[in-house]
Amino acid sequence: MAASMTPEQYQEYVGRRKRAASQRRALGTATRHFVLIVVGLTMLLPFTWMCLASFKHLSEVEQVNPVPTTWHPENYIEVFKQIRFARYYFNSVFVAGWVTFLQTLTSAMAAYAFARLRWPGRDTVFKLYLGTLMVPGVVTMIPNYSLVVKLHFLDTYPGLVVPAAFTAFGTFLLRQFMLTIPLALDEAARIDGASHWQIFWNVVMPLARPGIITLVIFTFMGNYGSFFWPLVLIKSEHLRTLPIGMLFFDSSYGRQTNLIMAASVMNILPLIILFICTQRFIVKGIQLGAVKG
């Protein structure tokens, strides 16, 4: 067909094809954006309802109208009056911080052994180590509890921290990241007389910083809201974490949903800010860690 066209007709034909292709691309982009916006708004609905419910009176929480007819910001003050919110919040941050530190340290050392050292059965041990990811946490709950009791860690901070100080996921994540670091750096440091600890601490750890930051964020956010293990282990009121302390608002005397929502907003707001500020590190760490397997 192009052979029977004049140059002017051919140029007009090509122009129409380009405009049609451009319109199809624009329509596809608009459709994708629309779908993502709808999905995003759907995912935001529970959070939006929680924020609005935190400003409602208890009698108004269950109503269909999502917007409060009368705003009650005093709900947030009432939370501090009824429970030791600051103490529970400190406990949650304290425990999550120690778990994050220990998990990152142990995972980094294990990842270095699996990624940079050569020893018999290394790959087999690593596969068995990864196999523990398939074991549900409830299966190990009773053995962990028995071990904590024998160590006299029941109703203590160490009882909350020590069982969670090791993770196969963190080891896998950092191992994948360390595999992307050239082995020539280790050899150069070894020629200069560096020991394995010096290579680990001064060479590998600085280069693995994006992966470490990713693990720190995941670990802290995962342990900050831990509920079941503290519920089983902690009996003393001053050792309760925030999720356990918030059970005060759901008792046999009734559920104070508006105060639960107010406490939940104050509970998760720091995590949202942390995620927004560090999301670029998460994306970078995951991308770099997935380069080599």
Same domain for 30 and 112, yes or no, is no
CATH number at residue 142: 1.10.3720.10
pLDDT score of 292:
47
Same domain for 241 and 174, yes or no, is yes
Decide if 215 is inside a domain: yes
Decide if 60 is inside a domain: no
Same domain for 91 and 197, yes or no, is yes
pLDDT score of 84:
92
Decide if 61 is inside a domain: no
Same domain for 8 and 137, yes or no, is no
pLDDT score of 293:
45
Cα separation, 293 vs 290, whole angstroms: 7
Same domain for 79 and 37, yes or no, is no
pLDDT score of 16:
78
Q: What is the mean pLDDT of each successive set of 10 residues along the chain, which is 293 residues long?
A: 63 76 84 91 88 89 81 92 92 94 94 90 90 86 90 92 90 89 88 88 88 88 89 90 88 79 90 80 60 47
Same domain for 170 and 32, yes or no, is no
Same domain for 31 and 147, yes or no, is no
- Interacting residues of 163 by C-beta distance below 8 A, sequence separation 6+: 144, 147, 148, 229
How distant, in Å, are the alpha carbons of 219, 254, 258 from that of 83? 27, 16, 14
Q: Residue 38 is part of which domain span?
A: 2-53
Same domain for 8 and 122, yes or no, is no
Decide if 66 is inside a domain: no
Same domain for 39 and 180, yes or no, is no
Q: How many domains does the chain have?
A: 2
Of 219, 208, 209, whose CA–CA distance to 97 is shortest? Answer: 219
Q: Exposed e or buried b for every residue in 99-119, given b needs 16+ CB within 10 A?
A: bbebbbeebbebbbbbbbeee
Same domain for 228 and 285, yes or no, is yes
Same domain for 282 and 203, yes or no, is yes
Length of the chain (residues): 293
- Find residue 254's DSSP bridge partners: 251
| Token representation of residue 82 | 């009824």
pLDDT score of 209:
87
Same domain for 84 and 216, yes or no, is yes
pTM (2 d.p.): 0.81
